[in-house]
């Protein structure tokens, strides 16, 4: 399996199923993991700023589904602040749109502590595109005196898969 890193801040650390990390020095560089058997693998790429991205991959199996991954742009927002959850297709665009389902959890309450763009529980990646986003906006809630969390978790569905540990992104809503 060859992993190429081309965004974020160079030097990258790459692990496969929690293995000892491989290093990629420059953007566009790659590293190769050899001797792998058929099955599912979790790849984690971490850039020099500590930003990580998890990818679910399958080797030696004719994929009936497409892998998706989830990340968030900011990990913390205050009242009126916005950030996005982004679902991406690591293997490139599809010829048909793909609708991915998600659930929200945590201590933050939808419509009380935050709002979301689009249809709650669904993100559609358009045909020919590699990503789609949901914007989360922190609402003013004077009754809350503590920070709250709003984790989004992608759930496996028809035509796509994700891997536990690489399917959740969390935003903290500051009081």
Q: For residue range 95-148, what is the model confidence (pLDDT) as tens digits?
A: 889 999 999 999 999 999 999 999 999 999 999 998 899 999 999 877 778 899
CA 136, 72, 78, 146 dihedral sign is positive
> H/E element holding 18?
none
* CA 39/CA 62 separation, integer angstroms: 10
Is the pLDDT at 54 greater than 60? The verdict is: yes
The DSSP call for residue 110 is B
Q: For residue range 2-35, what is the model confidence (pLDDT) as tens digits?
A: 888 887 789 999 998 888 899 999 988 999 988 8
* CA 60/CA 67 separation, integer angstroms: 15
Answer whether 29's CB lies under 8 Å from 17's CB. no
Which tokens in the block code for residue 166? 């690489």
Report all structural domains of the chain as residue ranges with CATH numbers, in order of start: 2-59 (no CATH), 66-173 (2.60.40.2030)
pTM: 0.63
* CA 55/CA 41 separation, integer angstroms: 8
Let me know how long the chain is.
Answer: 175
């Amino acid at each position: 399996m060859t992993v190429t890193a081309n965004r974020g801040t160079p030097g990258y650390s790459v692990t496969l199923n929690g293995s000892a990390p491989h290093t990629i020095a420059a953007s566009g560089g790659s590293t190769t993991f050899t001797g792998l058997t058929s099955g599912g693998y979790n790849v984690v790429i971490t850039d020099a700023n500590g930003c990580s991205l998890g990818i679910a991959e399958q080797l030696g199996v004719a994929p009936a589904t497409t892998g998706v991954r989830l990340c968030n742009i900011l990990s913390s927002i205050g009242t009126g602040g916005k950030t996005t959850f982004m679902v991406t297709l690591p293997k490139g665009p599809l010829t048909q749109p793909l609708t991915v389902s998600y659930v929200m959890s945590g201590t933050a309450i939808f419509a009380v502590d935050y709002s979301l763009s689009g249809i709650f529980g669904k993100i559609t990646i358009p045909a020919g595109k590699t990503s789609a986003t949901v914007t989360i906006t922190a609402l003013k809630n004077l009754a809350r005196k503590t920070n709250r969390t709003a984790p989004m978790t992608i759930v496996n569905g028809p035509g796509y898969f994700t891997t536990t540990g690489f399917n959740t992104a969390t935003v903290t809503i500051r009081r």
